[in-house]
């Protein structure tokens, strides 16, 4: 299970491939050892999005899977910074949501410094 979770976390496979490997309902999988997601992983996803390597749908699927399943976890000391960014990224599939390159850079800076992201 660790390999498939690592492949998903690192954008080597899609959510569909993750479901193929683990089952359709990712929210009800008993995962004794969730994979750690660090700020660098979130930074890599943001960069992949800004470089147009992944779509908004792939980004939002990644965020929702990492945040809302028990397959992944964050170190307690990094949780606030990561969640403050995921809260914004999670809404990008909503009508009218946009994310400027400047906002992406601010998110990356917040993650790099392990501080909460603020839109202001």
Local confidence band at 119 (pLDDT 50, 70, 90 cut-offs): confident
Token pair recorded at residue 51: 């470089």
Amino acid 66: pLDDT: 97
Summarize pLDDT for 27-86 with one digit per residue, the tens.
999 899 999 999 999 999 999 999 999 999 999 999 999 999 999 999 999 999 999 999
pLDDT at 50: 95
Region of poorest pLDDT, from 1-10, 50-59, 75-84, 90-99 = 90-99
Closest CA to 11 of 36, 42, 35: 42
Query: How many C-beta atoms lie closer than 10 Å to residue 40's C-beta?
Result: 10
49 and 6 Cβ atoms separated by less than 8 Å:
no
């Amino acid at each position: 299970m660790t390999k498939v979770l690592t492949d998903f976390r690192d954008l080597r496979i899609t959510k569909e491939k993750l479901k193929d490997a683990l089952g359709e309902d990712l929210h009800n999988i008993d995962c004794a050892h969730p994979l750690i997601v660090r700020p660098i992983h979130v930074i890599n996803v943001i960069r992949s999005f800004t470089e147009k390597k992944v779509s908004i749908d792939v980004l939002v699927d990644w965020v929702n899977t990492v945040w809302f399943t028990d397959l992944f976890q964050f170190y307690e000391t990094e949780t606030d910074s990561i969640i403050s960014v995921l809260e914004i990224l999670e809404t990008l599939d909503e009508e009218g949501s946009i994310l400027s390159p400047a906002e992406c850079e601010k998110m990356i800076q917040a993650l790099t410094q392990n501080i909460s992201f603020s839109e202001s």
